[in-house]
Amino acid sequence: MSRSYALSLLFVFFSAVFLHQNAPAEEISPSNENAIPEDTRSRRKRLDDLLADLANTPGHLQFNGGLTTVGQYLVHDGHNEAAGTGSIDIYAHTSYGPGTMLFFAFESGSGIGVDDALSLSSPLNGDAVVTRSSEGMDLLVLNEAWAEFTALNEAVTLTVGKIDLTNYFDINRLANDETSQFLSGAFINNAAFLAPDPGPGIRARTVLFDWFSAQVGVISSSPDGGTRFRDAFPIGELGMQFLPNSHLAGNIRAYLYAPAHTEGATGWGLSLDQNLTTRSAMFARWGQNSGRLAQENNLESAWSAGFQQKASLKSKELILGLAYGQTQEETGAKEKNFEIYSSWQYNEWTFISPFVQWVHNLERMNQGATVAGMRVQFFF
């Protein structure tokens, strides 16, 4: 039996033991767009909690954030390699009364993990980021800076500024946050979703009858961050909730984008998350690019699916998640990804997440690569 296969079996065995011995767990919350992802410590959920408090203290600037460290051990083609990364996210928020708020997101990081040892369509460490300047100075980078306005009891929302489209489109309750959920880039967003880096843009969203939602957005995809939108990236999405306000709630979202520079080429995708019981849920994604989009980025299509089980261990939250996906490149190569992780709440501010990843790309690798590692998160 290979060392990588043995690591995977040991991980599954101990995770299963934890789930078997725990007491009844906190139930998975019903789906709600204002708390997506719904994992209680996801970035979006923590921000929503703070923004609710800000409405009662207009004009006050508040901060929160998190520190994430990741250690990975790669076994591939007879070679072993270890690597570590670290990142810090700082969020600043303020409100000027009901329906109006400002938000800023800063990030700093070091290290790219084991991804520099492999040639892949999607990274194995989606949290890895390098913000060091050419002079060797560690920088704090401004990723987002926007104002948001809501009206008609939050039925209409308008967001303007430097925005990240992946915060609004292709979102998924179970697979959308590299700091608390799956670490592989193929499961953070659909691998074929070609959203540009955060930039100047606008996003508008409306909700009908608490079941249906529609939103549109446009962002500048110019690499120099220009604001003239000559390379605009427009996108639209329709969403529907199943059994809202119940423990068997779910969401399905369909989106379509058509970058201006591709002369009519489009991309589209679907994102589904669904509670199966009060403690278990599943997700699935599909994405497709056509014509020039697929040729320029060598990404034709991608799909992924996974499962999450929530439980408790010594009165602390325990999560087990697993996912599998496949990316189809325009050249015909197929990249297969698998990940299983377990996340345990050590105390109020600290979460520990061991994980195992596997990836194989027949065109670029002689055999699959296995990565075992640990992610530790500190929130403040």
**What would the pLDDT profile of 29-75 be if each residue is shown by its tens digit?**
333 443 333 344 455 555 565 556 555 566 677 888 999 999 999 99
Tokens 């699959």 -> residue: 368
Cα-Cα-Cα-Cα dihedral of 360, 364, 369, 371, to 10°?
-100
Q: What is the pLDDT of residue 95?
A: 84
Number of H helices, E strands in the chain: 4, 16
**Sequence letter at residue 64:** N
Q: Strand 250-257 vs strand 316-328: parallel, antiparallel, or unpaired?
A: unpaired
Q: Which residues contact 126 (CB under 8 A, 6 or more apart)?
A: 178, 182, 183, 184, 185, 188
Round to whole Å and give the CA distance between 318 and 279: 11
**Residue 355 — φ and ψ, nearest 5°?**
-150, 160
If you average pLDDT over residues 267-288, what whole number do you get? Answer: 96
If you average pLDDT over residues 163-168, what whole number do you get? Answer: 94
What are 268's two structure tokens?
A: 């589209």
Distance of CA 162 to the CA centre of its chain: 18
Give 214-226 pLDDT, tens digit per residue: 999 999 876 555 5
What's the sign of the alpha-carbon dihedral 12, 15, 19, 25?
A: negative
Round to whole Å and give the CA distance between 303 and 292: 20
Q: Where are the domains of the chain?
A: 3-379
Give 315-370 pLDDT, tens digit per residue: 778 999 999 999 999 888 899 999 999 999 888 889 999 999 999 987 888 888 99
Give 184-211 pLDDT, tens digit per residue: 999 999 999 999 999 999 999 999 887 8
Q: What is the pLDDT of residue 37?
A: 36
Residue 181 is given by DSSP the state S
Q: What is the pLDDT of residue 222?
A: 66
Do the beta carbons of residue 201 and residue 165 sit within 8 Å? Answer: yes
Instruction: Give the H or E element holding residue 18.
Output: helix 3-21
**DSSP annotation string for 276-301:** SSSSEEEEEEEEEE-HHHHHHHT--E
CATH number, span 3-379: 2.40.160.10
In the chain, % of residues over pLDDT 70: 82
**DSSP annotation string for 175-195:** S--TTTS--SHHHHS-TT--P
Q: What is the pLDDT of residue 68?
A: 95
Distance of CA 119 to the CA centre of its chain: 21
Q: Which residues contact 280 (CB under 8 A, 6 or more apart)?
A: 28, 307, 308, 309, 310
Round to whole Å and give the CA distance between 164 and 145: 10
